[in-house]
Protein backbone atom coordinates (compact mmCIF):
# COMPACT_ATOMS: atom_id res chain seq x y z
CA UNK A 1 0.00 0.00 0.00
CA UNK A 2 1.40 3.41 -0.98
CA UNK A 3 1.87 5.66 2.01
CA UNK A 4 0.82 9.32 1.90
CA UNK A 5 1.03 12.31 4.19
CA UNK A 6 -2.52 13.04 5.35
CA UNK A 7 -4.38 16.20 6.37
CA UNK A 8 -7.87 16.59 7.82
CA UNK A 9 -10.39 19.33 8.65
CA UNK A 10 -11.46 19.63 12.28
CA UNK A 11 -14.98 20.71 13.39
CA UNK A 12 -13.84 24.37 13.50
CA UNK A 13 -12.98 24.22 9.82
CA UNK A 14 -9.20 24.35 10.38
CA UNK A 15 -6.72 22.09 8.63
CA UNK A 16 -4.81 19.62 10.82
CA UNK A 17 -1.75 17.55 9.96
CA UNK A 18 0.46 16.35 8.49
CA UNK A 19 0.29 12.82 9.83
CA UNK A 20 0.92 9.30 8.58
CA UNK A 21 -1.84 6.73 7.89
CA UNK A 22 -1.26 4.86 11.21
CA UNK A 23 -1.42 8.16 13.10
CA UNK A 24 -4.65 9.05 11.31
CA UNK A 25 -6.18 5.66 12.13
CA UNK A 26 -5.15 6.03 15.77
CA UNK A 27 -6.71 9.51 15.90
CA UNK A 28 -9.96 8.04 14.54
CA UNK A 29 -10.06 5.33 17.21
CA UNK A 30 -9.43 7.97 19.89
CA UNK A 31 -12.51 9.83 18.68
CA UNK A 32 -10.70 12.83 17.17
CA UNK A 33 -12.19 12.10 13.74
CA UNK A 34 -15.55 10.73 12.66
CA UNK A 35 -16.89 9.20 9.45
CA UNK A 36 -17.84 12.65 8.06
CA UNK A 37 -14.43 14.25 8.66
CA UNK A 38 -12.83 15.56 5.46
CA UNK A 39 -9.42 14.12 4.49
CA UNK A 40 -6.83 14.92 1.85
CA UNK A 41 -3.42 13.80 0.63
CA UNK A 42 -1.28 14.92 -2.27
CA UNK A 43 -2.79 14.03 -5.63
CA UNK A 44 -6.42 14.42 -4.53
CA UNK A 45 -8.58 17.04 -6.25
CA UNK A 46 -11.08 17.28 -3.39
CA UNK A 47 -11.49 16.62 0.34
CA UNK A 48 -13.68 13.46 0.55
CA UNK A 49 -15.21 12.30 3.85
CA UNK A 50 -13.46 9.59 5.85
CA UNK A 51 -16.31 7.18 5.08
CA UNK A 52 -15.24 7.12 1.40
CA UNK A 53 -11.60 6.42 2.30
CA UNK A 54 -12.15 3.88 5.09
CA UNK A 55 -11.10 0.92 2.95
CA UNK A 56 -7.93 2.71 1.79
CA UNK A 57 -7.09 3.55 5.41
CA UNK A 58 -7.90 0.07 6.73
CA UNK A 59 -10.71 1.28 9.01
CA UNK A 60 -13.80 -0.84 9.60
CA UNK A 61 -16.79 1.46 9.86
CA UNK A 62 -20.16 0.37 11.26
CA UNK A 63 -23.18 0.90 9.07
CA UNK A 64 -24.53 4.44 9.43
CA UNK A 65 -27.64 4.92 11.53
CA UNK A 66 -30.83 5.25 9.49
CA UNK A 67 -31.92 8.83 8.93
CA UNK A 68 -34.86 9.98 11.08
CA UNK A 69 -38.26 10.25 9.45
CA UNK A 70 -38.88 13.63 7.90
CA UNK A 71 -41.57 15.81 9.54
CA UNK A 72 -44.86 16.32 7.74
CA UNK A 73 -43.88 19.79 6.50
CA UNK A 74 -40.54 18.61 5.10
CA UNK A 75 -41.94 18.78 1.58
CA UNK A 76 -42.28 22.55 1.95
CA UNK A 77 -38.68 23.02 3.14
CA UNK A 78 -36.33 24.67 0.61
CA UNK A 79 -33.90 22.34 -1.15
CA UNK A 80 -30.27 22.45 -0.04
CA UNK A 81 -28.26 25.14 -1.76
CA UNK A 82 -25.75 22.60 -3.07
CA UNK A 83 -26.89 19.12 -3.86
CA UNK A 84 -23.39 17.66 -3.76
CA UNK A 85 -21.74 18.80 -0.53
CA UNK A 86 -18.31 17.84 -1.89
CA UNK A 87 -18.43 20.61 -4.50
CA UNK A 88 -16.59 23.86 -3.91
CA UNK A 89 -18.68 26.92 -4.69
CA UNK A 90 -16.51 29.71 -6.18
CA UNK A 91 -17.44 33.31 -5.48
CA UNK A 92 -18.94 34.76 -8.64
CA UNK A 93 -18.05 38.10 -10.21
CA UNK A 94 -20.99 40.05 -8.72
CA UNK A 95 -20.35 38.69 -5.26
CA UNK A 96 -16.66 39.61 -5.49
CA UNK A 97 -17.48 43.05 -6.88
CA UNK A 98 -19.80 43.85 -3.97
CA UNK A 99 -17.12 42.74 -1.50
CA UNK A 100 -14.52 44.87 -3.30
CA UNK A 101 -16.85 47.88 -3.31
CA UNK A 102 -17.46 47.63 0.44
CA UNK A 103 -13.75 47.15 1.15
CA UNK A 104 -12.92 50.15 -1.03
CA UNK A 105 -15.25 52.35 1.01
CA UNK A 106 -13.75 51.10 4.26
CA UNK A 107 -10.20 51.62 2.98
CA UNK A 108 -11.11 55.05 1.60
CA UNK A 109 -12.56 56.27 4.89
CA UNK A 110 -9.61 54.77 6.76
CA UNK A 111 -7.21 56.60 4.44
CA UNK A 112 -8.93 59.92 5.14
CA UNK A 113 -8.79 59.32 8.89
CA UNK A 114 -5.11 58.32 8.63
CA UNK A 115 -4.38 61.47 6.61
CA UNK A 116 -5.28 63.69 9.58
CA UNK A 117 -2.36 62.72 11.89
CA UNK A 118 -0.02 62.43 8.90
CA UNK A 119 -0.88 65.98 7.82
CA UNK A 120 -0.30 67.28 11.35
CA UNK A 121 3.03 65.42 11.51
CA UNK A 122 4.02 66.94 8.17
CA UNK A 123 3.46 70.42 9.58
CA UNK A 124 5.55 69.71 12.67
CA UNK A 125 8.31 67.76 10.89
CA UNK A 126 8.80 69.22 7.37
CA UNK A 127 10.88 66.22 6.22
CA UNK A 128 7.68 64.17 6.37
CA UNK A 129 6.09 64.98 3.04
CA UNK A 130 3.84 63.61 0.34
CA UNK A 131 6.02 60.61 -0.57
CA UNK A 132 6.17 59.47 3.06
CA UNK A 133 2.40 59.83 3.43
CA UNK A 134 1.84 57.86 0.22
CA UNK A 135 4.09 55.01 1.38
CA UNK A 136 2.38 54.85 4.79
CA UNK A 137 -1.06 54.90 3.16
CA UNK A 138 -0.33 52.04 0.77
CA UNK A 139 1.37 50.03 3.52
CA UNK A 140 -1.74 50.39 5.68
CA UNK A 141 -3.99 49.19 2.83
CA UNK A 142 -1.70 46.20 2.15
CA UNK A 143 -1.69 45.23 5.82
CA UNK A 144 -5.51 45.51 5.95
CA UNK A 145 -5.93 42.90 3.23
CA UNK A 146 -2.96 40.70 4.18
CA UNK A 147 -3.84 40.49 7.88
CA UNK A 148 -7.54 39.77 7.41
CA UNK A 149 -7.15 37.35 4.49
CA UNK A 150 -4.53 35.35 6.41
CA UNK A 151 -6.70 35.28 9.56
CA UNK A 152 -8.80 32.22 10.52
CA UNK A 153 -11.76 33.78 8.65
CA UNK A 154 -9.56 34.16 5.52
CA UNK A 155 -11.54 37.23 4.46
CA UNK A 156 -11.51 41.02 4.52
CA UNK A 157 -14.53 42.79 6.02
CA UNK A 158 -16.20 43.10 2.62
CA UNK A 159 -15.69 39.40 1.89
CA UNK A 160 -17.01 38.42 5.33
CA UNK A 161 -20.20 40.39 4.75
CA UNK A 162 -20.70 38.65 1.39
CA UNK A 163 -19.90 35.21 2.86
CA UNK A 164 -16.74 34.47 0.85
CA UNK A 165 -13.07 33.89 1.64
CA UNK A 166 -9.63 33.56 0.04
CA UNK A 167 -7.87 30.19 -0.05
CA UNK A 168 -4.97 28.51 -1.74
CA UNK A 169 -5.70 26.08 -4.57
CA UNK A 170 -5.78 23.17 -2.10
CA UNK A 171 -8.23 25.02 0.14
CA UNK A 172 -5.75 25.89 2.89
CA UNK A 173 -5.31 29.29 4.50
CA UNK A 174 -2.78 31.84 3.18
CA UNK A 175 0.09 33.05 5.30
CA UNK A 176 0.48 36.80 5.88
CA UNK A 177 3.26 37.01 3.30
CA UNK A 178 1.24 35.05 0.72
CA UNK A 179 -1.77 37.31 1.30
CA UNK A 180 0.43 40.40 0.96
CA UNK A 181 1.90 39.09 -2.33
CA UNK A 182 -1.65 38.45 -3.57
CA UNK A 183 -2.62 42.05 -2.76
CA UNK A 184 0.46 43.36 -4.58
CA UNK A 185 -0.37 41.16 -7.58
CA UNK A 186 -3.90 42.60 -7.67
CA UNK A 187 -2.37 45.81 -9.07
CA UNK A 188 -1.79 43.90 -12.31
CA UNK A 189 -5.50 43.11 -12.54
CA UNK A 190 -6.20 46.83 -12.97
CA UNK A 191 -4.15 46.91 -16.18
CA UNK A 192 -5.38 47.46 -18.75
CA UNK A 193 -8.92 48.66 -18.00
CA UNK A 194 -9.41 46.17 -15.14
CA UNK A 195 -9.37 43.22 -17.54
CA UNK A 196 -7.70 41.09 -14.86
CA UNK A 197 -10.68 41.57 -12.54
CA UNK A 198 -13.19 40.99 -15.33
CA UNK A 199 -11.66 37.54 -15.86
CA UNK A 200 -13.57 36.43 -12.73
CA UNK A 201 -16.78 36.69 -14.75
CA UNK A 202 -15.62 34.26 -17.46
CA UNK A 203 -13.11 31.77 -16.04
CA UNK A 204 -14.39 28.36 -14.96
CA UNK A 205 -13.46 28.77 -11.30
CA UNK A 206 -14.21 32.51 -11.26
CA UNK A 207 -10.55 33.40 -10.83
CA UNK A 208 -9.10 36.83 -11.56
CA UNK A 209 -5.61 37.44 -12.95
CA UNK A 210 -4.01 37.89 -9.52
CA UNK A 211 -5.64 34.63 -8.36
CA UNK A 212 -3.97 32.77 -11.22
CA UNK A 213 -0.62 34.44 -10.59
CA UNK A 214 -0.62 33.58 -6.87
CA UNK A 215 -2.41 30.20 -7.14
CA UNK A 216 -5.31 31.30 -4.97
CA UNK A 217 -9.08 31.27 -5.27
CA UNK A 218 -12.09 33.04 -3.75
CA UNK A 219 -14.78 30.63 -2.59
CA UNK A 220 -17.81 30.41 -0.32
CA UNK A 221 -16.87 30.70 3.35
CA UNK A 222 -18.07 27.13 4.03
CA UNK A 223 -15.92 25.58 1.30
CA UNK A 224 -13.13 23.28 2.55
CA UNK A 225 -14.74 22.98 5.97
CA UNK A 226 -16.41 20.12 7.80
CA UNK A 227 -19.81 21.39 6.63
CA UNK A 228 -19.50 22.27 2.93
CA UNK A 229 -23.22 21.66 2.51
CA UNK A 230 -23.78 25.09 4.10
CA UNK A 231 -22.39 26.80 1.03
CA UNK A 232 -24.89 29.23 -0.45
CA UNK A 233 -25.17 30.65 -3.97
CA UNK A 234 -25.63 34.32 -4.71
CA UNK A 235 -29.24 34.88 -3.63
CA UNK A 236 -28.43 35.87 -0.05
CA UNK A 237 -25.44 37.90 -1.13
CA UNK A 238 -27.67 39.82 -3.56
CA UNK A 239 -29.98 40.92 -0.76
CA UNK A 240 -27.06 42.00 1.41
CA UNK A 241 -25.48 43.78 -1.52
CA UNK A 242 -28.62 45.76 -2.27
CA UNK A 243 -28.94 46.79 1.37
CA UNK A 244 -25.32 47.93 1.34
CA UNK A 245 -25.69 49.88 -1.87
CA UNK A 246 -29.02 51.53 -1.02
CA UNK A 247 -28.66 52.16 2.71
CA UNK A 248 -25.27 51.61 4.31
CA UNK A 249 -22.96 52.84 1.58
CA UNK A 250 -24.56 56.29 1.18
CA UNK A 251 -24.10 56.75 4.93
CA UNK A 252 -20.44 55.76 4.64
CA UNK A 253 -19.96 58.10 1.70
CA UNK A 254 -21.56 60.95 3.68
CA UNK A 255 -19.27 60.21 6.63
CA UNK A 256 -16.26 60.14 4.32
CA UNK A 257 -17.33 63.48 2.84
CA UNK A 258 -17.59 64.98 6.32
CA UNK A 259 -14.09 63.79 7.20
CA UNK A 260 -12.79 65.14 3.88
CA UNK A 261 -14.41 68.52 4.52
CA UNK A 262 -12.51 68.73 7.81
CA UNK A 263 -9.21 67.38 6.53
CA UNK A 264 -8.78 68.86 3.03
CA UNK A 265 -8.63 72.55 4.04
CA UNK A 266 -5.92 71.71 6.58
CA UNK A 267 -4.01 69.77 3.97
CA UNK A 268 -4.32 72.58 1.40
CA UNK A 269 -3.04 75.12 3.93
CA UNK A 270 -0.10 72.86 4.72
CA UNK A 271 0.68 72.54 0.99
CA UNK A 272 0.68 76.31 0.46
CA UNK A 273 2.85 76.88 3.53
CA UNK A 274 5.30 74.29 2.21
CA UNK A 275 5.47 76.12 -1.13
CA UNK A 276 6.09 79.46 0.59
CA UNK A 277 8.78 77.90 2.80
CA UNK A 278 10.41 76.54 -0.36
CA UNK A 279 10.71 80.11 -1.67
CA UNK A 280 12.09 81.36 1.63
CA UNK A 281 14.74 78.63 1.59
CA UNK A 282 15.68 79.47 -2.02
CA UNK A 283 16.12 83.13 -1.00
CA UNK A 284 18.70 82.20 1.63
CA UNK A 285 21.50 82.42 -0.98
CA UNK A 286 20.40 85.89 -2.04
CA UNK A 287 20.28 87.10 1.57
CA UNK A 288 23.78 85.72 2.11
CA UNK A 289 25.02 87.61 -0.98
CA UNK A 290 23.56 90.87 0.40
CA UNK A 291 25.31 90.27 3.74
CA UNK A 292 28.67 89.66 2.02
CA UNK A 293 28.28 92.81 -0.11
CA UNK A 294 27.34 94.90 2.93
CA UNK A 295 30.34 93.62 4.89
CA UNK A 296 32.68 94.66 2.08
CA UNK A 297 31.13 97.97 1.01
CA UNK A 298 29.27 99.29 4.04
CA UNK A 299 26.06 99.72 2.02
CA UNK A 300 23.39 97.54 0.42
CA UNK A 301 23.49 96.43 -3.23
CA UNK A 302 20.91 98.04 -5.49
CA UNK A 303 20.14 94.98 -7.63
CA UNK A 304 21.07 91.37 -8.43
CA UNK A 305 24.00 92.35 -10.65
CA UNK A 306 25.61 94.49 -7.96
CA UNK A 307 25.11 91.69 -5.41
CA UNK A 308 26.84 89.25 -7.75
CA UNK A 309 23.68 87.23 -8.38
CA UNK A 310 22.05 85.98 -11.63
CA UNK A 311 19.10 87.83 -13.12
CA UNK A 312 15.93 87.55 -10.94
CA UNK A 313 14.16 85.20 -13.37
CA UNK A 314 17.06 82.76 -13.27
CA UNK A 315 16.67 82.23 -9.51
CA UNK A 316 13.54 80.08 -9.52
CA UNK A 317 12.05 76.64 -8.92
CA UNK A 318 8.68 74.95 -9.41
CA UNK A 319 6.84 77.48 -7.22
CA UNK A 320 9.12 80.55 -7.34
CA UNK A 321 9.07 82.76 -10.43
CA UNK A 322 11.94 85.08 -9.44
CA UNK A 323 14.06 86.41 -6.59
CA UNK A 324 15.18 90.03 -6.93
CA UNK A 325 17.47 92.24 -4.85
CA UNK A 326 16.03 95.78 -4.57
CA UNK A 327 18.23 98.20 -2.59
CA UNK A 328 19.21 95.39 -0.22
CA UNK A 329 15.73 93.91 0.15
CA UNK A 330 15.23 90.37 -1.17
CA UNK A 331 11.86 90.02 -2.91
CA UNK A 332 10.53 86.50 -3.61
CA UNK A 333 7.79 86.37 -6.25
CA UNK A 334 5.81 83.12 -6.48
CA UNK A 335 4.70 81.71 -9.82
CA UNK A 336 5.14 78.70 -12.15
CA UNK A 337 3.29 75.79 -10.44
CA UNK A 338 2.56 77.60 -7.16
CA UNK A 339 -0.93 77.39 -5.69
CA UNK A 340 -3.44 79.94 -6.90
CA UNK A 341 -3.60 81.59 -3.47
CA UNK A 342 0.09 82.61 -3.64
CA UNK A 343 0.77 82.82 -7.39
CA UNK A 344 1.93 86.31 -8.35
CA UNK A 345 2.31 87.36 -4.70
CA UNK A 346 5.53 88.21 -2.88
CA UNK A 347 7.45 87.80 0.35
CA UNK A 348 9.99 90.57 1.09
CA UNK A 349 12.98 90.25 3.40
CA UNK A 350 14.48 93.57 4.54
CA UNK A 351 17.95 93.80 6.16
CA UNK A 352 18.47 95.81 9.35
CA UNK A 353 21.97 96.79 10.51
CA UNK A 354 22.15 96.08 14.24
CA UNK A 355 25.87 96.74 14.61
CA UNK A 356 26.82 93.12 15.18
CA UNK A 357 25.44 92.03 11.82
CA UNK A 358 22.36 92.14 9.65
CA UNK A 359 18.97 91.06 10.96
CA UNK A 360 16.32 90.15 8.40
CA UNK A 361 12.74 91.27 8.86
CA UNK A 362 9.70 90.34 6.81
CA UNK A 363 8.03 93.57 5.66
CA UNK A 364 5.47 94.32 2.96
CA UNK A 365 4.58 90.73 2.00
CA UNK A 366 1.43 90.36 -0.10
CA UNK A 367 0.82 86.71 0.79
CA UNK A 368 -1.91 85.86 3.30
CA UNK A 369 -0.43 85.78 6.79
CA UNK A 370 -1.55 82.14 7.29
CA UNK A 371 0.86 80.97 4.60
CA UNK A 372 3.88 83.16 5.35
CA UNK A 373 7.18 81.78 6.66
CA UNK A 374 7.57 81.66 10.45
CA UNK A 375 9.61 84.90 10.65
CA UNK A 376 6.88 86.71 8.69
CA UNK A 377 3.98 85.74 10.90
CA UNK A 378 3.07 88.05 13.75
Same domain flag for 160 and 295 = no
Tell me, yes or no, whether 270 lies in a domain.
no
Tell me, yes or no, whether 179 lies in a domain.
yes
Q: What is the pLDDT at residue 228?
A: 82
**Residue in 218, 210, 223, 72 with CA at minimum distance from that of residue 158:** 218
10-residue mean pLDDT profile of the chain (378 residues): values are 78 79 87 85 80 85 62 46 58 88 87 77 60 82 94 92 90 93 92 85 89 93 83 64 60 69 74 87 92 89 92 91 93 89 90 81 82 71
Tell me, yes or no, whether 86 lies in a domain.
no
Same domain flag for 142 and 57 = no
Same domain flag for 47 and 180 = no
Asked if residue 244 lies in contact with residue 113, where contact means CB atoms within 8 angstroms, the answer is no
Domain holding 349: CATH number? 3.30.700.10
φ/ψ of 168, rounded to 5, equals -75, 175
Q: What is the pLDDT at residue 125?
A: 62
Tell me, yes or no, whether 82 lies in a domain.
no
Q: What is the pLDDT at residue 98?
A: 86
Tell me, yes or no, whether 37 lies in a domain.
yes
**Can you list the positions of beta strands (E) in 76-163?**
none
pTM value?
A: 0.50
Same domain flag for 253 and 348 = no
Same domain flag for 66 and 132 = no
Q: What is the pLDDT at residue 323?
A: 94
One-character DSSP codes across 113-141: HHHHHHHHHHHHSTT--HHHHHHHHHHHH
Domain holding 65: CATH number? 3.30.1490.40
Number of domains forming the structure of the chain:
3
C-alpha 23/C-alpha 6 separation (Å) is: 9
Q: Are strands 358-362 and 320-326 parallel, antiparallel or unpaired?
A: unpaired
**Rg of the chain on CA atoms, in Å:** 34
Q: What is the pLDDT at residue 85?
A: 37
Same domain flag for 100 and 153 = yes
Same domain flag for 5 and 63 = yes
**What residue numbers bound the domain in which 298 lies?**
283-376
Amino acid sequence: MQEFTWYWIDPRGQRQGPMSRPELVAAFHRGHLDRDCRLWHEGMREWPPLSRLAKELGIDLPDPEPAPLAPENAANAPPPAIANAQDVLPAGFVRRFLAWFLDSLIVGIGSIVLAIPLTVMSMVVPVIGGVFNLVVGYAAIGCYYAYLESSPEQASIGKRVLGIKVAREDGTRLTFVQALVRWLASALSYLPLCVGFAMAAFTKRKTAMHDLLTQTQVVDKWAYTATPEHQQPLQHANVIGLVLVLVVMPCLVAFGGMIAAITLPTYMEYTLRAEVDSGAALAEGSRKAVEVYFAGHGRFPSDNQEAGLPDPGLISNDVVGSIAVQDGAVVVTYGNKAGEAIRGRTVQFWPENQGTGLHWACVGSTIDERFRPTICRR
